[in-house]
Structure 1
Amino acid sequence: MMWTTLIAGLILLSAIPSGLPRSVYDVEGRSKRSIDLNDVYYSKMRQFRLPNEVTATSYHLDIKIPSIEKNEFNGHVKINLTWSNTSDRITLNIHQNLEISKVGIRMIQLPPDEAKKGAPMEVNIARKERQRFKSWYIIHLEQMLKNGSACEVTITYYGNLTTNETTGLYKSAYMDITGQKHPFIATYLQLDNAQKMFPCMDEPPYKATFKLRVSYPAIQDFKACTNTPLISRRTIDNSIEEEFEETPKMSTNQLALVISDLETIFPREDVNEIEGRKLQVKIWGRKEFLMSLTKVPDKIVKIVNYLQNYFNSSLGLPKLDVMAIPMYSASKASDNWGLMFFKESELGSPLVWTTAYELFYQWIGQSVTPYRRNDAPVNKALNSYLASMATLDLNPDEMEGKWPMTVLYSLYYEFAQTAPFSRVAGIRHEATWTKAELVFRMFNYTFGHELFQKSVRNFFHQQSKEDRRTFYANDIFTYLNDLANETNNLPPGLTINGIAASWINRDRVPLVTVIRDYETRKINLSQKVYLRDVPPQSTAKVSYQWDIPIVMQAEDNLNFHNTKPTVWLRKELVPKNLTMSDITSKDNFIIVNPEEIGMFPVNYDSCNWKMLSQYLQGPNRERILPLTRAKLLHDAWNLAYAGELCFGIAMNMTLFLKQEKSHVVWEPVFTMIHHVGRRIEGLDVNFKFEAYIQSLLKPLYLELGENPQPDEPSWKTHMRGLMQNFLCRTGYEPCIKEARDQFKKWMIDEEPDKGNPVANKFLCPVFKWGTNEEWEFGLQRVINFPKTSLARKQNERTYLLKTLAGCPKDANKIEKLLQVSVLDQNENFTDADVQLIFSMLTGSATGYKTLFNFLQEHWYTVKERFQNKTYLWDGIINSATSSFNTHEGYDMVSQLYLDHQTEFESADAIIRKALRVIKQESIKWNEENVPVIDAWLKENLSKEDLEAIAAATSISTTAVPTTTD
């Protein structure tokens, strides 16, 4: 799925320019304001836009490929153009690799006033100009033509097939099982690649019809396929010539062509007839791969029927060809209208979402197209949301527990940072359209599925009737706004466009606080910016406000199908709060924002939290839906982490997990364990915390079983893996034994450097809890890793090094790794390896304390080693000093700074920042929360657990030879 990039939160996208226009103008000068969304499309967006006085209405394109071996093609295009304003020039896009040999022009229509006068039908070319920097080809005319004029331009040209990448008109090949090579020719014209194939107006709003004729060598089983059905096929002089039906109006990047020997399979089910049309679906692939595609045709039919019903419209074409293209290297599927290209692995997948996502583009994206590329993100967001809805309806198991919570919680964590996206700036643009997707989801809930679907239908049908068949980013919100007003679903003064803008344009989310007065039976609602970390004193405070739909549920009237807002918390409110009558009695809890309808966490008064905690531990817990149970738990912990809620209340909200079986509820727990665990790493309370979490996990882990069962659902496998990971990390003996047994197979291998037979999940437990011999064996595998082996990939070595550095709880192992890689300068460790080791050591108290001691002891040696490598010097200072969280740790770092104050050079600002963060954030957080957590754990852990923890703590402090703080 597209949103998996957010789950990881680490994938960098292309650099995307900022400051893009917030308003656009159509060819008639009509201004329309659009929501300012960013998208990866911008990374390739041209700086130079075509003049709009002249536009193409049709292309007749003739492509001849004389020989497959020579990688050349000849082209002839006839373009019909109309004038909407006075101009004496025609400007086309043409790639620098195309060479033009002949250009002609003739007048085919005069403006009405000149036609009445009997003016001559003459037009002549004055000169031709090629601006390669802009990829423009300008035909200067001798006459100035007026609005209403029409001409036909003919251009003969030639070019080369692309052979080194999937772009333009390219040639590739695949090998069959006998080793025979099968060449094929295909297109990838997305973005601005159509100009690599023919001179054209290569921008989305310039829609035209296309009539395509192709000629290619008469190779056995070769056939051509394009957007529309075949009209004629004949053989001329050992060449095949095929002509295809004219397309509807579409953008140049939607034209598609494949010439290949790929074979076809057909669905057993039929696409439902609609509007008197019955779509014909075919699936294409290489012969050996077709067996992997047998379930795809009916899956496509199932999705198309769903989409036809949703839009109440046919595709608009008589056929849909879906191809598994061999060696397809484009980053995404090419969803051309009527002819779609997928990577083989994507098309063969049993999952629905990816296929549905691309098929939606046939309706919104191809039939109706974003007017500018900066209108495309809202299209992307709408398609992504509708694809998620389709998947929930068609294959609910695929989405359960994964959407929207994984993507939404990732946004919560990032937007709650002091400086969002400062660590991985590229993800901002992915997050922007993901916010828009969740805004569509919010509207679908708050205004109802039927109204939302009707607005999408109205949007599609109205835009598809327009001459251009294009839309602006805010058009869909306008249609939703119109319907909401008609049905009185919007409070006076609110507009959908205004609501959407406040959510989409800000890298923040609100926190809604709900305080109930149980005596007066009033509820006070307020909003503010949600932050998980305390911002530095120098950071300017932001006071964003949102228009927030407040959906409420009460204990005595739980009805999760009712998602209509009880009230809207308006950004115009002064003061910034709202008081309303309570919706239930004082003995019942309320839930605000169930099912994560809006992008915001919710805090309550302590009494309401107590009632929620008690209810979740009772027999009726499952009356609250899993996603809402997950939200309540997630909100409580994150609000406690942010200092908005007492940690005792948050810990009370975990008690129901002892009976919880739903993976949807458990999914966010592991992230929360990690976040809190990092804060208390190295403190005595961490032993109690891990013991408590282990007591929650064990019952469900034992119920799931240690080993996967045949045909078990994917969530069960995933959940077992998460639980194994944590239980191993906390020293759960059965898990440690399994990991060491698996690792032993590698240790007794006669040629251990030929491959790694151990699953990655077993490495960390072995290096953390295993012997020095096992760890040393892993170190030798890194040192001796084959540099030229085709069977071993570098990421195997990287993961092995990560676990060697980041997992040990024995300082001696870490000291040995630092000795080898830094002091001994072993040639098998690159600078990137050293930097990775420093980074991994920040993950545990043993790691960063040992690194600090190492730096302190070998200061001048380390400084000399890194004197010309600033990034490594800065890296070790940052990793060794920034993770301390106590007064003792602060004193250690402060003393290091005093001892070497004039010697930090480029890292001086880094250690000063570390001291500030330790003092202002880490120590403050620990002082406020650790005593509360510790007291709660002492009260809720058994006497046996507390005695075992005391013994383990005593052993640990004598076994780990490292400075403590």
Structure 2
Amino acid sequence: MAALRAAILFLVFAYATASVLKAKPNILTNLMRERHPRSIDVSAAHSLINEPKLRVDLSPKSYKLELEPIMENNTFRGRVIINVEWESESKEISLHTHQDLKILQVEVRTKDQINLNDAPTILDAKTRERHEKKPILTIFLSSSVPKGTVGEIEITFEGCLEVDITEAFFVTTFDDITGKSTKLVATHLRPNNARKVFPCFDEPAYKTPFEISIRRPKNMIALSNTPLKKTEDIPSDPDSVWDHFETTLPMSTYSVGVVVANLTKTDSMVVDTFGNKIEISIWCRAEYMEALNETLSKVESTFKEISQFWDLSLPLKKLDLVALPYYTGVKSADNWGLIIFKESELSSRGYFKLSQELMYQWLGGLVSPAWWSEAHINKALVGYLSASTAIKMDNGSELDGKWPMTILYSLYYEFSKRYPHSRITGMKQETTCSKIELLFRMLNYTIGEKAFKVGLQTFINQKKYGVFTSDDIWKALHVAAVEENTISQSMCVKEIATSWVTKDRLPVVSINRNYQTKSAVVNQRVYLRERPHDVPGQDKLLWWIPLVIMQQNNLNFSNTTPTTWIPKTKDLTIENMPRSDQFIIVNPEEIGPFPVNYDEKNWNMLAKYLMSSSRLSIPVNTRAKLLHDAWNLAYAGDLSFATALDMTAFLNKERDHLVWDPVFTMIDHIGRHIDSSIVHKKFETYVRNLLTPLYEELGDEKKDDESWKINLRSLAKTFLCRAGYKPCIEEAQAMFKVWMDASNPDEGNPISNQYICPVFKWGSKEEWEFGLQRVINFPSSRRLNERTYLLKTLAGCPITSWKIQKLLNITILEENGNFTDNDIFLIFSMLTGGSRGYTTLFDFLKNNWDTIKIRFENKTNLWDNLISSATSVFTTQEGLDLVTKLYVSRQGEFGSAEHIIEKSLKNIREETKWSVDNLPIIEDWLNVYLKKAAAEGKDDGKFIGYDQEGKEMN
């Protein structure tokens, strides 16, 4: 979380006036990535969905696999014997074999099913073919093999160990306790890397037993999925041995795991609640063992908790958890019975990552997805159950409210775009998994925790050792819900789930009460935040939506039984609403992943209640939801900003960080959208009046401060500093002077990055030009990301035109050789962050058109990016007039960017309409607020401001 907050600090500073629609959703996406590190497995599995399946002429029944890593030259040899059965008559055998795997010898043998002890028949299999573009090896037999025949395929092979990435069969190096450089090898075969290591039927549905043997140096240990059965000396090589492991239970090829390394261990014999014994071992390099002192007990307690949830023992004799030095995989290698972690992950204090990897032993190992298309369902269910387990294990202190709200906020932003995932297509599978994870959470609440748990237990018992599809899960949950009488006979869990799984959208629910008849009309539609709201086919998108309704006279938030469901219809009328002087809250605690809008009277009653001493009777997540929904619905044009701003009044009394978390996002969004208007100055005064009491009450940081307090203080300081909070700026300038006074400032930056942007924004010409020289003089011996950060802040932080103008002159007009095309791309991107940046860039383009055209004549990417950055971010009529005038005056000269300027004009018209509709309402509300604040003596001179030329206004 500290890394996340640092990212937020950077983005807030560096994009001092950046576009809200670009900046903050990315912050929340980073937040989601921290909670759910991007899964290469899921993304890769998605690309495999359309991969053609292997021929079904024969299927594997077991594997005997021998691997011989040769660390000296980063290669390996191997032999695999696959026992197979012909499902239909065929004279061809196709199996997965990566193009880089060298096949040395192939032999195919069949056996007499009646007399299995007889010598096998060797078939003529000398002809084989490697597909040029697909990882397929085809073996052609001289004659057809009848259906039902059993036999075996023996293949010897060799390949290269991976040295740059820790996947497939890889080798890496670390220094042992004596300082000696030591190599190790290990495997990470998810989702389809087994074919890189040995020829196989590399599809998840082919679950078979494996008999694995590993050749290793005597001074190392070898680990695999099962306990060691025996060790065999090698007469020709006295320094090596063969380790033969017990035969595994049926498992998919991606579950095969191997480690050969010089490691030490601590272990414990764990007896689960069913009396099953399993030896759990923690392996690491000797000098790291102290860092894992508490890990074993955490593993034991978490393992028992998960075993108890599934009501099923894990059918393994041992479970090895390995902290592997220099393991760089985004995700742990969760092989069945052998999990490979990064050292920092296994030694971390939290429980989530540990719960997640242990959960995969049951859901992924014991039962496995039938095809790649089910990988996101598997990951989503593991994610939800792991979060629930982690919350139980440490009372939620690790997740500390980040789950589920953080994930949900990110999904709201992404799925409310006109084109979801258009900017971050690689995240599509992650957001899909997160959405389904929240679907499981919703089902747990709405069909009841008992039915949900019983349903999943039934599912895993029915499918253990086998494979599953999502239908198997929905069916088991449905049966349990019907038996518990938590859904009606007319409902179907599969239909409910499908309505959420199949859409890259989320709904918004609107409640309009009739206070005379004590009824309400409920409406559902697609939630669209990004304008224009012209998504094709949106009227046809409907969901099964649970309506959990809290009434003011009975605020029992422990009762999550839906009052009713919206059964994939647009409108529904509900009765038995409370008296006209009492509010309702729909979807408390974000039970379902959808925002809720109310009629104005209900919103006003909620705002008034939150200002009262009774507001704590509404749980913190629900208070956060009400605030988040109000602001985002207003931003989308579905609610008056006066109402949304009224909902912030209780923040003067609110100190829970979970409620404040979305506040900073909302301030950023609105502030950046209106920063080119006169209303922005009034809005900043409102913001600093809002944040100053909070920040000053939090006080100076103390050693024993909880993480939430540190994070909240940091965010409050960041936003206050951005608004010109004098103590913050003076502190930043004092620290910056240390750098300026350094004898050799180019050797490195001696101050924290947090101080740089405030100085470049509010500081002097001398300070900014000092930073510019550091970029120009940046030595090649330093890390390039330090220069990138400095350049970002030089471009993105200033609110004075001359600084931006000078940077553009140097990099474009003067063509300073210290700046690359990538630097120019970065500068353009940063200048879109706020009105001072993009208006200065626009003026620069307009005033230097001919020179820039020549400069970028052969660089259409730069030209296109410049036109987009300089014209697309305006939000007012004045901006529309400027861009229109440029378009008309330079008609026919835009070249490759013609479509870009036309798109910019279209977008600006939409944003201008938003400004016309909302700025007067925001300004009127702020006028009333500021008049009252002035009467109360707020905004007491602790803030400074500069005009566009950098002159101090206070």
> What residue is the counterpart of 1:9 in the other structure?
29
> What residue is the counterpart of 1:889 in the other structure?
879
> Could you tell me which of 893, 900, 912 is aligned with 1:903?
893
> What residue is the counterpart of 2:513 in the other structure?
516
1:532 corresponds to 2:529: yes
Counterpart residue type for residue 411 of structure 1: L
Offset of residue 153 of structure 1 = 3.3
Task: Name the CA distance, whole Å, in 2 between partners of 1:836 and 1:163.
Answer: 32
Equivalent pair of 2:548/2:564 in contact (CA under 8 Å): yes
Equivalent pair of 1:230/1:244 in contact (CA under 8 Å): yes
Instruction: Describe the shift of the 1:954–1:934 C-alpha distance in structure 2 as closer, same or farther (beyond 3 A).
Output: farther
> Could you tell me which of 560, 583, 588 is aligned with 1:594?
588
Offset of residue 601 of structure 1 = 0.8
> What residue is the counterpart of 1:917 in the other structure?
907
> What residue is the counterpart of 1:226 in the other structure?
224
> What residue is the counterpart of 1:17 in the other structure?
none
Of 422-431 and 257-266, more deviation after overlay is shown by: 422-431
Counterpart residue type for residue 303 of structure 2: V
Instruction: Describe the shift of the 1:643–1:276 C-alpha distance in structure 2 as closer, same or farther (beyond 3 A).
Output: same
Task: Name the CA distance, whole Å, in 1 between partners of 2:777 and 2:944.
Answer: 38
Offset of residue 235 of structure 1 = 3.2
1:346 corresponds to 2:340: no
Residue-by-residue CA offset, 1:637-671 (whole Å, 9 max, x unaligned): 11111111111111110000000011110000111
Of 748-757 and 843-852, more deviation after overlay is shown by: 843-852
Task: Name the CA distance, whole Å, in 2 between partners of 1:526 and 1:416.
Answer: 17
1:77 corresponds to 2:80: yes
> What residue is the counterpart of 1:32 in the other structure?
none
Counterpart residue type for residue 226 of structure 1: S
Residue-by-residue CA offset, 1:940-959 (whole Å, 9 max, x unaligned): 22466499999999985575
> What residue is the counterpart of 1:16 in the other structure?
none
SS in 2 for 1:549: strand
Instruction: Describe the shift of the 1:952–1:851 C-alpha distance in structure 2 as closer, same or farther (beyond 3 A).
Output: farther
1:844 corresponds to 2:841: no
Instruction: Describe the shift of the 1:819–1:136 C-alpha distance in structure 2 as closer, same or farther (beyond 3 A).
Output: closer
1:932 corresponds to 2:921: yes
> What residue is the counterpart of 2:283 in the other structure?
284
1:668 corresponds to 2:662: yes
Instruction: Describe the shift of the 1:46–1:547 C-alpha distance in structure 2 as closer, same or farther (beyond 3 A).
Output: closer
Of 197-206 and 232-241, more deviation after overlay is shown by: 232-241
Offset of residue 521 of structure 1 = 0.8
> Could you tell me which of 767, 775, 780 is aligned with 2:773?
780
Of 580-589 and 299-308, more deviation after overlay is shown by: 580-589
1:317 corresponds to 2:327: no
Counterpart residue type for residue 887 of structure 1: Q
Instruction: Describe the shift of the 1:59–1:665 C-alpha distance in structure 2 as closer, same or farther (beyond 3 A).
Output: same
> What residue is the counterpart of 1:556 in the other structure?
553
Equivalent pair of 2:525/2:538 in contact (CA under 8 Å): no
Offset of residue 635 of structure 1 = 0.6
Instruction: Describe the shift of the 1:316–1:38 C-alpha distance in structure 2 as closer, same or farther (beyond 3 A).
Output: closer
Residue-by-residue CA offset, 1:46-68 (whole Å, 9 max, x unaligned): 83422123111112223345x64
Task: Name the CA distance, whole Å, in 1 between partners of 2:147 and 2:31.
Answer: 49
> What residue is the counterpart of 1:754 in the other structure?
747
> What residue is the counterpart of 2:382 in the other structure?
383
5+ unaligned residues in a row in structure 2: which ranges?
Answer: 5-24, 34-40
SS in 2 for 1:941: helix
1:52 corresponds to 2:56: yes
Offset of residue 629 of structure 1 = 0.3
Instruction: Describe the shift of the 1:83–1:637 C-alpha distance in structure 2 as closer, same or farther (beyond 3 A).
Output: same
Equivalent pair of 2:511/2:596 in contact (CA under 8 Å): yes
Equivalent pair of 1:62/1:213 in contact (CA under 8 Å): yes
Equivalent pair of 1:274/1:313 in contact (CA under 8 Å): no
SS in 1 for 2:137: strand
Task: Name the CA distance, whole Å, in 2 between partners of 1:327 and 1:538.
Answer: 46
Offset of residue 824 of structure 1 = 1.2
Counterpart residue type for residue 927 of structure 1: V
Task: Name the CA distance, whole Å, in 1 between partners of 2:629 and 2:75.
Answer: 61
Instruction: Describe the shift of the 1:907–1:215 C-alpha distance in structure 2 as closer, same or farther (beyond 3 A).
Output: closer
Task: Name the CA distance, whole Å, in 1 between partners of 2:900 and 2:138.
Answer: 55
Among all aligned residue pairs of Structure 1 and Structure 2, give the percentage whose two residues are the same amino acid. Answer: 44
Equivalent pair of 2:799/2:948 in contact (CA under 8 Å): no
Residue-by-residue CA offset, 1:197-249 (whole Å, 9 max, x unaligned): 3332222111111112233333x3x1211111112224343132222111101
Task: Name the CA distance, whole Å, in 2 between partners of 1:217 and 1:540.
Answer: 63
Instruction: Describe the shift of the 1:736–1:486 C-alpha distance in structure 2 as closer, same or farther (beyond 3 A).
Output: same
Counterpart residue type for residue 564 of structure 2: V
Task: Name the CA distance, whole Å, in 2 between partners of 1:488 and 1:39.
Answer: 38
Residue-by-residue CA offset, 1:127-160 (whole Å, 9 max, x unaligned): 4313243333344445544443322333344444
Of 343-352 and 817-826, more deviation after overlay is shown by: 343-352
Instruction: Describe the shift of the 1:6–1:59 C-alpha distance in structure 2 as closer, same or farther (beyond 3 A).
Output: farther
**Aligned CA-pair RMSD:** 2.9
Equivalent pair of 2:376/2:429 in contact (CA under 8 Å): no
Residue-by-residue CA offset, 1:348-388 (whole Å, 9 max, x unaligned): 22222122111111001011111111111100111111111
1:855 corresponds to 2:845: yes
> What residue is the counterpart of 1:29 in the other structure?
none
Task: Name the CA distance, whole Å, in 1 between partners of 2:871 and 2:800.
Answer: 19
Equivalent pair of 1:123/1:142 in contact (CA under 8 Å): no
> Could you tell me which of 721, 724, 744 is aligned with 2:717?
724
Task: Name the CA distance, whole Å, in 2 between partners of 1:878 and 1:287.
Answer: 55
Equivalent pair of 1:514/1:524 in contact (CA under 8 Å): yes
Task: Name the CA distance, whole Å, in 2 between partners of 1:925 and 1:170.
Answer: 54
> What residue is the counterpart of 1:43 in the other structure?
47
TM-score scaled by length of structure 1: 0.90
Instruction: Describe the shift of the 1:894–1:88 C-alpha distance in structure 2 as closer, same or farther (beyond 3 A).
Output: closer
> What residue is the counterpart of 2:671 in the other structure?
677
Of 797-806 and 419-428, more deviation after overlay is shown by: 419-428
Greater relative contact order, per chain length (Cα 8 Å cut-off, separation 6+): 2
Residue-by-residue CA offset, 1:26-48 (whole Å, 9 max, x unaligned): xxxxxxxxxxx984423366834
> What residue is the counterpart of 1:544 in the other structure?
541
Residue-by-residue CA offset, 1:280-321 (whole Å, 9 max, x unaligned): 111111112222222221121121111101111122101110
SS in 2 for 1:63: strand
Equivalent pair of 1:855/1:880 in contact (CA under 8 Å): yes
Counterpart residue type for residue 229 of structure 1: P
Task: Name the CA distance, whole Å, in 1 between partners of 2:677 and 2:641.
Answer: 17
> What residue is the counterpart of 2:12 in the other structure?
none
Equivalent pair of 1:39/1:374 in contact (CA under 8 Å): no
Counterpart residue type for residue 382 of structure 2: N
> What residue is the counterpart of 1:150 in the other structure?
150
Task: Name the CA distance, whole Å, in 2 between partners of 1:538 and 1:140.
Answer: 52
Counterpart residue type for residue 940 of structure 1: Y
Offset of residue 163 of structure 1 = 3.9
Instruction: Describe the shift of the 1:161–1:940 C-alpha distance in structure 2 as closer, same or farther (beyond 3 A).
Output: closer
1:565 corresponds to 2:562: yes
Residue-by-residue CA offset, 1:886-907 (whole Å, 9 max, x unaligned): 2222222222222222322222
Offset of residue 85 of structure 1 = 2.7
Counterpart residue type for residue 420 of structure 1: P
Offset of residue 535 of structure 1 = 1.7
> Could you tell me which of 792, 797, 808 is aligned with 1:802?
792
Task: Name the CA distance, whole Å, in 1 between partners of 2:947 and 2:197.
Answer: 70
Task: Name the CA distance, whole Å, in 1 between partners of 2:607 and 2:244.
Answer: 69
